[in-house]
Amino acid sequence: MRIDQLLAAGLTRSFEFFPPKSDEESVTLAGTLHDLEQLSPSFVSVTYRGGRESRQRTFDLVTDIERDGHLVSMAHLICVGHGREEMREILENYLEAGVVNVMALGGDIPDDPDLVASEFRHAIELVELARDVGEFSIGVAAHPLGHPRSPNRASDRRHLAEKLRLADFAVTQFFFELGDWTTLVDELGELGVTKPVLPGIMPVTTLSGVLRMAQMGAAVPASLISRLQGADVVGGPAAVRAEGVRAAGELCEQLLDAGAPGLHFYTLNRSTATREIHELLYGPGGVRRP
């Protein structure tokens, strides 16, 4: 099933994983996939950081999920470290394996200098190549507060609009306030782009996570930090975690009420927080609570 078709049919809910690097991580991910499969996600996506070993792990996980037949999968692809012919081969291999959903990303600059060289300058070139190779449903990344390497937000929006005109949908970096998503969608609309933009959700479940979130690209707003600190005073780490999950659930409610086409959860390969947010939203029957 193509993700663009799923989005056209109605609201989606999706989960993102990274490929395991060890037997222990494989066991954890297997349990997570089992738990989240019970929530009937529209699709799941698998990240990829670059390099032959990481690429193979992503390919193996995505094709295993696709072969199992219970979940729709999407493979991440990045520009960094790839030539055009190599990427064409990767795309062709995915098609042969029955994988038709891909996420076209620029990619972070890796520590390994051998991976920096690339024949792609921007993710839009990867979108163009995927269009040339076959009938893929293509997603791209969107940054509500602007890409870290963009000179300003206006420039970021112009480049995103150009990229999204060729792609089918976007998935955002995680964020914490409704206005971040609505402003992004409105600004794209002003540029004539109305493709679906899925909001990315990642709850803050520890006070130490506040700093980590900022380092990953999305600062936690002062109001949420204050809320988490208040929970810590009352009940310690367990209360902080519960408050973080509750705040994420409230954001999801606001997004759905504002017309978001679905919700995309960054799971970090753990199911607990995602399942708790899902329970807040939908209850045990999988139907959104009134």
End-to-end CA distance of the chain: 29
Q: Which residues pair with 170 in a beta bridge?
A: 140, 197
Of 202, 201, 250, 243, the closest CA to residue 226 belongs to 243
Of 105, 183, 169, the closest CA to residue 138 belongs to 169
Cβ contact 170:198 at 8 Å: yes
User: What is the set of active-site residues?
Assistant: 16
Q: Which residues pair with 140 in a beta bridge?
A: 104, 170
Integer Cα distance of 50 and 126 in angstroms? 14
Strands (DSSP E) along the chain, which ranges? 12-17, 43-46, 73-78, 101-105, 137-142, 169-174, 197-201, 262-266
Q: Is 229 exposed, middle or buried (0-12, 13-18, 19+ CB in 10 A)?
A: middle
Integer Cα distance of 80 and 117 in angstroms? 7
Integer Cα distance of 149 and 115 in angstroms? 19
